[in-house]
Amino acid sequence: MAVRLGIEPPLSFNTKTTFAMRKTTLLLAIILLGLFACQKEDPLTEPPLPPPPPTEYVPIFAPCDTSDGVATANKLTAAWKAGVSCRSVMSAGKKYWVFEMFTCNEEGSKREYLAVGGVPDNNPMQRYPIKNYTTSIIEGFVDPSYSTLFSDGDVLEDFYYPDTTFTEDFLEIDLWDTANKRAEGRFSVSFFIKEPRANPKNPKKVRFTSGKFWVRLP
């Protein structure tokens, strides 16, 4: 009669090899799981996007006296409103009109001056392209000008030249009612600053678009 002594027989060579391979496979699986977990905790990220460009500073003031007229426009990226008046000038024996627009600070001192001149009195209701007058009025064109003011509004700060590269700029007179003393029109005008600037905060270029105005004729 055989008696079991409770001692297991020794493992064969093949059984040892299989057990070792299983241990190795399990160890590799644990290592891979650990690496995957690390990658999830610290994923590779895309390079950060560059910051957006800084918002351009657009000086905006309140309209001056609006009893004789009002103008509105988009000044660069901001809404703009000004008081309007008009006056006549003589050139080569002919009468022309100049439209002047002013904004003021809280104390009522003028801070901006936008003018468009060269509208003939004998035939004002036209669409006028822009021209930078150098000596005298050029028939069929208007000459805009823009400047900033400081102190009590009677001192020039920065002067801007008409930017005639914007060939779509214009002044158009839609109404000229001498009986009721009222004129109406639309405009788009562009400028670049005269360097060196007195005020470094003033933008190098200023553009007024979608402009509208009415003014009382004298």
Which residue matches tokens 């290592």? 31
Does residue 177 lie within any of the structural domains?
A: yes
Look up the domain containing 181 and give its range.
62-216
**In-domain check, residue 38:** no
Judge whether 128 lies within some domain: yes
Based on the structure, what is the number of domains in the chain? 1
Query: Is pLDDT larger for residue 44 or for residue 56?
Result: 56
Residue 130 has pLDDT above 90, yes or no: yes
Residue 46 lies in a domain: no
Query: Quick one: pLDDT at residue 134?
Result: 83
Whether 137 maps to a domain, the answer reads yes
Is residue 80 one of the residues assigned to a domain?
A: yes
- pTM (2 d.p.): 0.75
Dist CA 19 CA 170 (whole Å):
91
The mean pLDDT value for 88-103 works out to 97
| Straight-line distance from the first to the last Cα atom of the chain, in angstroms, rounded to the nearest whole number | 139
Answer yes or no: is 121 within a domain: yes
Q: Does residue 153 lie in a domain region?
A: yes
